[in-house]
């Protein structure tokens, strides 16, 4: 078996997933990094017989907004303890009409609209300038494993799509969504970047499991409500658990 297959999997949980139901907690590990503190201690546990690590992106009590997440510390901490494979679970809004709320999508591309975030490790005290290749932003092996897991759980998951990462914490205007659609975005979320590119900078295998929580601004029947988001997240998260279960069994 190669290193990637043997490596422990980590889940970064987003809105609606501050802990992983069904995970037996072994220990919590506080990790300090040169880039500051991660969102929470890393939780080591057993999920249906498989060792894994869980990190709640928005903190244990869900108090860190998307633009304040210390993405550098989160990925660095996971790498520091030897993690090579990460699934980022993320709530998103749907721009593409085929990606209805409550469904799961495994995106294959990203457009980054975020700003003012610490988005690289190649910043200070460099001995040389580094440009990572980011043509295909997600780890294709892990994407395919997630899609195969969805299908063995008898769930349909969108097999691709472009994730547009916005700054937040406000939601978008309807015209911003129109512009994003013209750009080619299918989904909109606030946490997909720089998480994906930092993982690539660290040479980690990273994929996103997007849970569609709402129609994007201007695409539904009225304003976007937190109630609507929570309801769809509840439905979507049940699917995420089933997919993760199959993923752990298969890797
Ligand atoms: N926009 C941005 N981020 C989101 C959305 C949205 O509509 N829904 C969930 N996260």
Residue pair 210/204 in contact (Cβ under 8 Å)? The answer is no
Residue pair 48/29 in contact (Cβ under 8 Å)? The answer is no
Residues whose beta carbon lies within 6 Å of some atom of ligand 1: 91-93, 166, 171-172, 188-190, 213-214, 216
- Please write the tens of the pLDDT for every residue from 74-132: 999 999 999 999 999 999 999 999 999 999 999 999 999 999 999 999 988 777 778 89
Residue pair 136/110 in contact (Cβ under 8 Å)? The answer is no
CA-nearest residue for atom 7, ligand 1, is 93
Percent of the chain with pLDDT over 90: 85
Residue 203: per-residue pLDDT:
97
Which range scores top for mean pLDDT: 6-20, 24-38, 236-250? 24-38
Q: Which residue has the tokens 């903190």?
A: 59
Whether the per-residue pLDDT at 5 is higher than 60: the answer is no
Residue 76: per-residue pLDDT:
98
* Total domain count, the chain: 1
Whether the per-residue pLDDT at 4 is higher than 70: the answer is no
Tell me how far CA of residue 47 lies from CA of 20, 82, 193, in angstroms. Answer: 8, 18, 27
Report the atom number in ligand 1 closest to the C-alpha of 214: 8
Q: Residue 214 sits in a domain of what CATH number? A: 3.40.50.1580
Mean pLDDT computed over 129-152:
95
Residue 1: per-residue pLDDT:
41
Query: How far away, in angstroms, is 26 Cα from ligand 1 center?
Result: 33
Query: How far away, in angstroms, is 60 Cα from ligand 1 center?
Result: 20
Range of the domain at 67: 3-249
- Please write the tens of the pLDDT for every residue from 149-208: 999 999 999 999 999 999 999 999 999 999 999 999 999 999 999 999 999 999 999 999
Give the DSSP letter of residue 36. B
Report the atom number in ligand 1 closest to the C-alpha of 217: 7
Residue pair 40/60 in contact (Cβ under 8 Å)? The answer is yes
CA-nearest residue for atom 10, ligand 1, is 92
Residue 2: per-residue pLDDT:
43
**Cα separation of 195 and 70, whole Å?**
9
């Amino acid at each position: 078996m190669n290193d990637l297959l043997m490596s422990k999997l980590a889940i970064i949980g987003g809105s609606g997933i501050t802990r992983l139901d069904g995970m037996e907690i072994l220990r919590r590990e506080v990790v300090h990094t040169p880039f500051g503190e991660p969102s929470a201690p890393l939780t080591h546990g057993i999920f249906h017989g498989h060792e894994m690590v869980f990190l709640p992106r928005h903190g244990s009590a869900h108090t860190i907004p998307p633009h304040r997440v210390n993405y550098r510390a989160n990925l660095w901490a996971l790498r520091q303890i030897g993690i090579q494979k990460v699934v980022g679970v993320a709530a998103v809004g749907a721009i593409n009409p085929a990606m209805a709320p409550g469904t799961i999508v495994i995106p294959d591309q990203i457009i980054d609209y975020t700003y003012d975030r610490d988005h690289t490790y190649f910043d200070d005290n460099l001995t040389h300038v580094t440009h990572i290749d980011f043509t295909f932003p997600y780890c294709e092996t892990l994407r395919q494993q997630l899609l195969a897991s969805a299908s063995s759980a008898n769930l349909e998951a969108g097999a691709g799509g472009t994730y547009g990462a916005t700054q937040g914490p406000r939601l978008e205007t309807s015209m911003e969504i129109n512009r994003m659609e013209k750009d080619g975005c299918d989904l909109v979320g606030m946490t997909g970047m720089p998480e994906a590119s930092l993982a690539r900078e660290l040479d980690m295998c990273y994929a996103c499991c997007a849970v569609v929580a709402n129609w994007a601004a201007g695409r539904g029947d009225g304003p976007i409500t937190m109630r609507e988001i929570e309801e769809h997240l509840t439905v979507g998260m049940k699917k995420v658990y089933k997919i993760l279960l199959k993923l752990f069994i298969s890797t």
